[in-house]
Amino acid sequence: MNRIVEKFTQLKAAGKKGLVVYIGAGDPHLQATHDLALAFDKAGVDILELGVPFSDPLADGLVNQLAAQRGLESGTTPPKLLATIAQIRKQSQIPLVLYIYFNLIHKVGLEKFIADCAQAGVDGLLVLDLPPEESDNYEALMKKAGLCHIYLVAPTTQEDRMALIVKRGAGFIYYISREGVTGMQTSVATNLASQVAKIRAHTHLPIAIGFGISNPEQAKAVAKEGDACVVGSAIVNQIAEHGKSPELVAKVGAFVKSLADAVKTI
């Protein structure tokens, strides 16, 4: 069974909510990505999203844009990242998702990229700029490789299109709780319950809610409404702050554990 599917099955059986964490791969370097992944697994993270560095990350706010820039500056490429994931797999079975823009896949070739991901130990892809209407071949290749193709639903998504998107997805549905780009917010969206109910009317897939979650209190509040919450920019900001410190993994790991502990107490 795919690790993402297995993880959500385990969470549901235990009556628990999940924590999905996002970091920029190669920020500040790939050894840190490796070490943080292992630390997050021990801290209670359920799924780790790795942002593949790209020069034009149009879905991302400043914090994650700068992480992508640092990843590019550290020499992180998709092949080097997949090699790092293969090393992570020797010590951890944490479900791993690549958060990626389609240009990077297209350059390698769709079939080869998906096969390389499966071989390295990736569990799913979240392709930010590939809509379901253009994804027939992609979905077929992903299914054949045993990987989850994860789709996004936004607050502005019309219900008929929402129904199409969630019917096509696999693993989980990523609900963007706010309009705009990624980034930390001082409060959570007030219409989460109604929006999640709309999505649930069209799918049995788990729903992970992200964009703007900044602290344990917000993570707990958001996780109550969905099956998992996604925290990215707040963690990426910690990496930016401690990136040159020998205590990077310990400090960021402690912050992430505080998020996991909050989500697990629901």
Q: Where in the sequence numbering do the catalytic residues fall?
A: 49, 60
Other C-beta atoms lying within 10 Å of the C-beta of residue 56: 10
In whole angstroms, what is the distance from residue 28 CA to residue 4 CA?
A: 26
Order of all β-strands in the sheet with 151-153 = 148-149, 124-127, 96-100, 47-51, 18-24, 228-231, 207-210, 173-176, 151-153
Altogether, the residues listed in the chain come to a count of 266
Side-chain half-sphere of 3: how many Cα atoms within 13 Å?
Answer: 16
- Answer for the pair 33, 25: CB distance below 8 angstroms, yes or no: yes
Phi-psi region of 156 (alpha: psi -120 to 50; beta: other; left: phi over 0): alpha
Phi-psi region of 34 (alpha: psi -120 to 50; beta: other; left: phi over 0): alpha
Helical H segments across the chain, by residue range: 3-14, 30-43, 62-73, 78-88, 102-108, 110-120, 136-145, 159-168, 192-200, 216-225, 233-242, 248-264
Six-digit token pair at 32? Answer: 């840190």
